[in-house]
Structure 1
Amino acid sequence: MDALTTLVDGLSLRAKLTYWGGVCGDWLMDHNSDTEVWFHLLSKGAGWIHSPTWNPPLRMEAGDLVLFLPHAPRHVMSYSPIHIPTDFSNVRATSFNEGETGFVCGSIELGMPNASLWTALPAEVIIRKDQAGAILSWLLQLIIRETVDPRLGSNSIIERLCDSIFVLVLRHCIEEGLVERGVFLAMQDPKLEAVLTQIHREPWKPWTLDMLCELSGLSRTAFSARFTEVVRCPAIEYLANWRMQVASGWLKDANLTVAHVADRCGYQSAAAFSRAFKRSFGLSPGKFRRNGHAQEAG
């Protein structure tokens, strides 16, 4: 497996659908989050993104995809390039076939949304229908076709297809040069990619700098300089942050105690793990679990 695959698998990133179907009238979508990636696939008609990034507002058409990461500026989408509704009195949710406009909308929760892993990505990712490439285009069309004629299991099928959308979008950002720093850029360096793959696959392993250097095939000095320059933090610091991101997902499993999570992350005691977790999240693992959702990371 490669570094991107092990990253996605390690974080258990899953899409959660919030709406798929049609809309009529003066519709508005106000989906802003400090902890989640929001995505909108326009399956029919047209809409406009109102954001400080776009002046005038950006027109979206059928087959276009937009993702808003947690560090995106506040934004809305509406039926008009000039009018932003203040209420929902003149809008009606419909089936895809009845709607003037159609959408597939959802979110993906990030355990550490402020981590450099995510902030290195564009805050808003726009992929036009004719820019998606063959595989992503086919996937988007599969999703749209499933919404046109929903059958048994359609919601689950669409959700699982949306999981793949996010991976393909990450690959699109890497391959199209939309990432200028950080882990996703490092994945294009074969020597760093080899190290990241192992870190992502086995975060609990007691990695040392010498072990990581051996994986890269570089000297200690050369590896440390290259990793820090591209990823923007030392390798051991990245490893610690990665362990916390993985741990935040494991803590949502009620069957795992904090001690079990600590052990799986490679910590010799729950107390040491709790101190490291609190440095990253600003609260203890127990409180994080009781809150039931991701918190902002420092």
Structure 2
Amino acid sequence: MDSMSALLDRSRAAGAFILRSVLSAPWAMRIEDDAPLTVLVLTQGRAWIVPDDGDPVLVEPGDVVLLRGPGHRYTVADDPLSEIDVVIDRQQNPSYRPGVQWKFLTELGVRTWGNEPEGSTLMLTGTYQVQGEVSETLLCLLPSIVVVPLDESSEPLVRLLADEIARDRAGQETVLDRLLDLLLIGAVRTWFSDPAHDSGWFRAQDDPVVGPALRLLHDDPAHPWTISALASRVGVSRATFARRFTDLVGRPPMAYLVEWRLKLAADLLRETRQTLGAVASAAGYGTPFALSAAFRRERGESPRDYRSRMARHEDGGVPSTRP
């Protein structure tokens, strides 16, 4: 498995908040949900993304927008100067300014809302509610706002997503989640393949030395890898391998492996009820003690404390900020 596949495989929607908005100007939505990731597709009309920490970004029909959070709040509007009509909080609840009341347009579909059924702007939005450690690796390689045009492979997905949003059938949430995932994958691949967004990490996937080594690490993170073993498998000297890996990936091979193992362990602790021993084995640590020592050294807390903190956060108890 190449690095992008490994990361995207962990970036899966699960009960994502998906909505179609039908809007007539003037309109403006303030987004304060602090979601890890939002995918926005404009199918009709135009809109502006106005981030708190940057310049306004124009979105045209056919654009796919990735909005990375948490901590990157923004406004979506027909014009950067439009007065804010509604604020969306962390529970996806709207708060309106006096005199404004958008509504769910049930005549247009079960997940459709807006300020005018005949509005000239049509926007599809999918919000990822939970972010794993592994998917965070991918998101951190992206700017806070990514805008890419729809490619030929994604256009049918958008049409299908628009149709499926309006339906309410058995298994509908899963269908919408997977369509959202495919749109995300297409947008990420398009963005990284643009020479203007040159990334050593992305180029490493096709490197004849580093690419195979990354696949070995991702396919079998529990193997007792060493620099010598990896260099032997890809057919170069130890020194050449270490230098080339570090230059492209941005960190030495063993440091990358430790980070990958601990992120896998963190995701397992958060997503499953596996024992600490089972998590340690899956992540490449022979014993729970070895995992705990590495976790404390790199993250400043024990695996058990991390699991408890994440459980409280997902129950709405406390923020998930790392200590």
Q: TM-score, normalised by structure 1?
A: 0.84
Distance 1:296 1:208 in 2: 33
Matching residue within 245, 254, 263 for 2:281: 263
Give matches, 1:1-298, under 5 Å. Answer: 1-9=1-9, 11=10, 13-14=12-13, 16-24=15-23, 26-31=27-32, 33=34, 36-51=36-51, 55=55, 57-70=56-69, 73-85=72-84, 87=86, 88-89=96-97, 90-95=100-105, 97=108, 98=117, 100=119, 101-107=122-128, 109-112=130-133, 117-128=138-149, 132-148=150-166, 151-177=169-195, 179-291=197-309, 292=311, 295-296=320-321
When structure 1 is superposed on structure 2, of 220-229 and 189-198 the one drifting more is: 189-198
Contact 1:38/1:105 (8 A) holds in 2: yes
Q: Which amino acid aligns with 1:237?
A: A
Structure 2 SS opposite 1:222 = helix
Distance 2:175 2:286 in 1: 41
Match of 2:111 in 1: none
Q: Which amino acid aligns with 1:173?
A: W
Give the count of matched residue pairs: 292
Percent identical across equivalent pairs?
Answer: 26
Distance 1:202 1:276 in 2: 19
Contact 1:47/1:80 (8 A) holds in 2: yes
Contact 1:121/1:179 (8 A) holds in 2: no
The 1:264–1:152 alpha-carbon spacing in structure 2 relative to 1, beyond 3 Å, is: closer
Distance 1:262 1:186 in 2: 28
State the Cα distance separating 1:44 from its structure 2 match.
Answer: 4.0
The 1:216–1:91 alpha-carbon spacing in structure 2 relative to 1, beyond 3 Å, is: farther
State the Cα distance separating 1:5 from its structure 2 match.
Answer: 2.1
Distance 1:118 1:75 in 2: 17
The 1:12–1:85 alpha-carbon spacing in structure 2 relative to 1, beyond 3 Å, is: closer
Distance 1:183 1:196 in 2: 10
| CA RMSD in angstroms, aligned pairs only | 3.0
The 1:69–1:262 alpha-carbon spacing in structure 2 relative to 1, beyond 3 Å, is: same
State the Cα distance separating 1:184 from its structure 2 match.
Answer: 2.7
State the Cα distance separating 1:224 from its structure 2 match.
Answer: 0.8
Contact 1:206/1:266 (8 A) holds in 2: yes
State the Cα distance separating 1:112 from its structure 2 match.
Answer: 3.5
Larger radius of gyration: 2
Contact 2:49/2:76 (8 A) holds in 1: yes
Q: Which amino acid aligns with 2:195?
A: G
Q: Which amino acid aligns with 2:124?
A: F
Structure 2 SS opposite 1:156 = helix
State the Cα distance separating 1:54 from its structure 2 match.
Answer: 5.6
Contact 1:19/1:106 (8 A) holds in 2: yes
The 1:297–1:136 alpha-carbon spacing in structure 2 relative to 1, beyond 3 Å, is: farther
Distance 1:233 1:276 in 2: 18
Superimposed CA distance per residue, residues 159-182 of structure 1 (whole angstroms, 9 cap, x where no aligned partner): 111112222222212211354335
The 1:117–1:161 alpha-carbon spacing in structure 2 relative to 1, beyond 3 Å, is: closer
Structure 1 SS opposite 2:154 = helix
Distance 1:204 1:70 in 2: 31
Q: TM-score, normalised by structure 2?
A: 0.78
